[in-house]
Structures are given as C-alpha cells and as structure tokens.
Amino acid sequence: MAELLRVEGLSAGYGEAVVLHDVSLAIGEGQTLALLGRNGTGKTTLINTLAGATRQHGGAITLAGKPLHTMASHQRAAAGIGWVPQERNIFKSLTVHENLTAVARPGKWTPDGVYAMFPRLAERKTNLGTQLSGGEQQMLAVGRALVVNPRLLLLDEPLEGLAPIIVEELLRAIARITREEGLSAIIVEQHPQAILAISHHAVVLDRGTVVHSGTAAELREQPALLEKLLGVAR
C-alpha cells in the first residue's frame, strides 16, 4: 500500500497562537483515519491546517510525496484535498445543482454520482442552499467535496447536530465512499464508535499533541482506553 499523506513535526495555529505541537501521522492510499479527542484538543485545527486555512509554524505536510505545506488552499484543492468543514460553507444563494457544477473537476465523481448516493439531493436539485435542512446541507457539502475528485477527503464532524436517521444515511455514504470506493479520508467526529467502525486507523489528540496512534479496531475493542482518552465509555 502506497503512502498518500505524511505529516511530520507539525506545529500550527491562528496568528501567533500555536494550537498543534509536533504532530506526526501518516495515511495510505485507500485508508481512513479517525481523528479523535475531547473538545478543544486541536482536531479542527489539524483539518484546517491540512486544507491550508491556518498559520503553520513548523513541520512538513506531503501528499503523494509532494510538499503540501508550501501551497495555498486553492492549490491544495487542485492537488487532491477535498474539505468538508464544520460550517459546511455551501453556496446558499445557489441551487443544489449549481453548488455541485460550480466546483466540479473531471474524474470519477460527478453530480449524477452524488445524486445517486444522496437521492434527497436529486429531489432538491433546483432548491437553493437556504431551502435545505441541516442534513441536506451536510449531504451537499460532502457531495461538493467529492465532485472536486480529491485523493484525500477531510471531514470535520460530519454528523454534528443531525437527526439519527440522517446520521445513519451519512454514515452509510461515508462507508461506501471510503470502504467500497477506496477514497482516503480523515474524519473528525464526536461519535467515536460509529467512526471507528468504518476506519482503518485512529489518532487521538490532547492539548494539540498526539497521545494515541493505532488501528481503529484495537481502540474500538478497548472501551476502557476510549474512556480514558476521550472521557466516554461508548
């Protein structure tokens, strides 16, 4: 299995404030990494740093052997980074279809492919972003990241605040994207068991540093360790 992403000695934050300290991790082609930790431990900062939305103070990021940390955010998207931020950031004044076609790049994932995965979006393709529910907006945010045809998908708390039925639908879609379609992904989530079940590896952050790294299966099968690391028993 070829290595896709490598992060070495990463320090980053916002302005002069350093949030991440000496973070190192790696992910292979077709692999999924669950990025876990309590609130405020640096998970979103790490995702934002990979996408190019923070200030990097040290270390290196490479994607398929190419230095990513020297690129602007739009160059990272072109290099193969697909980003679904917590805020979703869909174009609310555009229709669902316009949101997808505005950013689409040639490749396997097309707007039609997104509609096949999320039939709700197909039914609402002429609706504006403001006319979508929170769950539909999240589906659109994931779909918009897919039509960029990335090599690595970054998902920042994709299940946050959604109804259980929508959570199940999104989990099935994420599992298909990663497990069946083989797209590499890093997923930040507050539902550790749900994400560990569809991930290959797990990294836990605390106070901006890596405090645990291993396989997702091993961590999922150790509820006592999960509780110690995250403060949750399930």
pLDDT digits (tens, 9 = 90+) for 93-110: 999 999 999 999 999 999
pLDDT digits (tens, 9 = 90+) for 142-162: 999 999 999 999 999 999 989
Burial of 188: CB neighbours in 10 Å, binned 0-12, 13-18, 19+: buried
Which of residues 98, 120, 144 is at a domain's end? 144
Residue 234: its pLDDT value, please? 44
What's 59-107 look like in SS3?
EEEEECCEECCCCCHHHHHHHCEEEECCCCCCCCCCEHHHHHHHHCCCC
* CA–CA distance, 142 with 88 (Å, rounded to integer): 8
Residue 232: its pLDDT value, please? 54
Do 158 and 56 fall into the same domain? yes
Contact 56, 14 (CB under 8 A): no
What's 5-71 look like in SS3?
EEEEEEEEEECCEEEEEEEEEEEECCCEEEEECCCCCCHHHHHHHHHCCCEEEEEEEEECCEECCCC
Contact 55, 47 (CB under 8 A): no
pLDDT digits (tens, 9 = 90+) for 12-40: 999 999 999 999 999 999 999 999 999 99
**Beta-bridge partners for 66:** 63
Q: Inter-axis angle of helices 164-175 and 134-146, to 10 degrees?
A: 10
15 φ, ψ (degrees, to nearest 5): 65, -130
Number of domains in the chain: 2
Do 17 and 32 fall into the same domain? yes
pLDDT digits (tens, 9 = 90+) for 167-182: 999 999 999 999 889 9
Which domain covers residue 127, as residue numbers? 84-144
Do 184 and 199 fall into the same domain? yes
Do 103 and 132 fall into the same domain? yes
Do 74 and 179 fall into the same domain? yes
The upper half-sphere exposure of residue 189, i.e. CA atoms within 13 Å in the direction of its Cβ, equals 25
Reported confidence tier of residue 117, pLDDT bands at 50, 70, 90: very high
The answer to whether the predicted template modeling score (pTM) of the entire model surpasses 0.85 is yes
Which of residues 124, 144, 164 is at a domain's end? 144
**Beta-bridge partners for 206:** 209
Q: How many CB atoms lie within 10 A of CB 75?
A: 12
**Total residues found in the chain within this entry:** 234
